[in-house]
Structure 1
C-alpha cells in the first residue's frame, strides 16, 4: 500500500520539467476494425493454453519515452537494468475500457527519495493541459514492477471515452534538487475506448481467463495486463499464467523484465 504525499516534493518544478519534455503533435486516433470475435477468440484461446496471448494493439505510434535511465554522476539508479520503464507497447499508447485503469511500470535498484505519478488530460495536439491525478510516494529500493490504480474515490473523474491522456512516472533522486540531473522521467499515453454491445455482453458472460481473449482481440492492452496480473496473484502456482505474462512483455519488446519481481495481492471478492 502506497501512501500519498510521503515526501513534500517541489511539484511545480517537476511538473514544468515533465510538461516541457512532452512534444506537441496533431493526433487522430484510428483503430482498425477487429476480427470477428468468435474467430479471434478461438485463436487466443489456443494461445492461452500454450501460455501465450497476442494483443492486437493499434499501429498508431505516439511520441513518448517509455524507458529512461541515468548514467550521470550522482545518479540513483543501479542494477543490471538501471532504467525506469513503463509497461506499454512500443507505440507508447495503450487502450482500455476501464474508467479507472491500473498502470504498471518497472523501477530498478535505487536510492531515490520519492516517485511522482501524474495523469494529464491533453488537448488535440497532445499538449498536457489538465492535471487529472497526481501522487507521490517512497519507492521500494529493490528492483520490481509496480502498479497503481487510478483511485475511484469520488475525487478523481473517470477517464472520458475517446480522450487521450498522458501518464508519467518520475523518480526523484534528491528532493532538494529538482533539476534534470536529479529527476528521471518516463511518459506514455492511455485512451479509454468504447466497445460494441456484443463485445460487452461477451465480457459479462466470461470469467477472467476468458476475458483475456476478448481484451486481446480488441487491442485493450491495459485490460489484458491488469487481468493477467490479477490472475497470477490469485493463482501463484499456475505456470501457464507466468508464461502468458512473459509472452505479453515479449510482444512489446520488454521481455528483459519478464522475470522481475512483481507483488500484487489477490483481490477479495
Structure 2
C-alpha cells in the first residue's frame, strides 16, 4: 500500500514551516465562497467549477525516500483548487483534446523516475501507463497522452496519476498525485484560431486542461515574450495555484519503456 497523508492545514504548516495563517496566505488557497474565483485585473482567469471536488491534495509520508533531507514531498497537480475544512480540495477539469497534456509541479527530489497512468472511469481499464526519467530539477513537468493511444471519448471521464518512485524495491514510500479529466466536444472555430488566442478562448469556455497546455506551448515556443509568462501567472493564481505560479516549465520527460502504451482493453 502506498503511504499517503491528506494535506490538512496542519500538514501544510508542518510541511512548509511557520504559522498556519502565514502558510495559508503563502499558498494562496481561497475559501469556497460562491464557487467562482476571479482576479479583478487579470486578462486570463478561470472559474473554479461548481461541482464536487474530485479529491484532496496529498503529500508524501515523512518516512519516504524522495527528499534529499528526508522531508515530506509535496507534488502539486495543475488543477483548480480551494480550501475547505482545513483541507485543500482539487476539482476535475475538462479537455477538448483526444490526447490531452497534464502538468504537475515536482519539487526537489532524489527520485529519478515517475510513473504516469490514465484510467477510464467508465470501463475501469488502463489506457496508458508509462515510466519516465525525471529531469533532476524542480519545476512544472508535462506528461502527455501519446497520439498512438486510444483517444479519450467525448462525455467520458478519466483518472490520471503521477507517482514518484522513491525506492525501486519498496513502493510504500512512493509519492503520488491524481486528477480527473472529462472529454468534451471541441468548438469548430477553435482549430481556426491563432495559437495566441487559444488560451483565452479555452479559459472562457472552462476548458482547463487545454487552457494550460496551449499557454505552456506559447511559453515554450516564445520564451522571451513576457505576455505569456504574465498570462500563465494570472491563470494559475485565478485557481489558487499562487505558490507555483512563477515556477519554471521543465523540459521532460522521456519514456523509459515505449511498449507500455495500452489501448482500451489492453492487458
- Write the distance in 2 (CA, Å) between the matches of 1:173 and 1:143: 15
Aligned position for 2:14:
none
2:205 is matched with: 218
In structure 2, the CA distance between the partners of 1:212 and 1:142, relative to structure 1 (3 Å rule), is closer
* Matched residue, 2:161: 168
Change (3 A) 1:245 1:78: farther
TM-score by length of 1: 0.70
Please name the residue that 1:186 is paired with: 177
Aligned partners of 1:75 and 1:264: how far apart in 2?
Answer: 24
Conserved in 1, the CA contact under 8 Å of 2:48 and 2:91?
Answer: no
Q: CA deviation at 1:247?
A: 0.8
Q: Using the TM superposition, give the Cα deviation of residue 78 of structure 1 relative to its aligned residue in structure 2, in angstroms.
A: 5.8
Give the ranges of 4+ consecutive aligned residues of structure 1 lying more than 4 Å apart after TM superposition. 78-81
1:64 is aligned to 55
Contact 1:86 1:188 in 2 (8 A): yes
Give per-residue Cα distances to partners, 1:45-86, cap 9 Å, x unaligned. xx9xx7631224532123324x33235135313699941111
Shift of 1:263: 3.2
Residue of structure 1 equivalent to 2:257: none
**Are the counterparts in 2 of residues 86 and 106 from structure 1 also a CA contact under 8 Å?**
yes
Deviation at 1:137, TM superposition (A): 1.7
Residue correspondences, number:
210
Conserved in 2, the CA contact under 8 Å of 1:57 and 1:221?
Answer: no
Does the 8 Å contact 1:229/1:264 carry over to 2?
no
Partner of residue 34, structure 1: none
CA positional deviation for 1:93: 0.8
| Structure 1 unaligned regions, length at least 5 | 1-12, 22-46
Q: Which stretch shifts more, 251-260 or 223-232?
A: 251-260
Q: Distance in 1 between matches of 2:92 and 2:74?
A: 19
Q: Spell out, residue by residue over 1:103-134, the C-alpha distance to the aligned partner (whole angstroms, 9 max, x if none).
A: 100111111142111100013xxxx8111100
| 2:170 is aligned with 1:177 | yes
Paired residues for 1:227-238 under 5 Å: 227-238=214-225
Distance 1:51 1:160 in 2: 33
Unaligned stretches of 5+ in structure 2? 7-39, 82-89, 253-267
TM-score, normalised to structure 2, is 0.70
Aligned to 2:119: 120
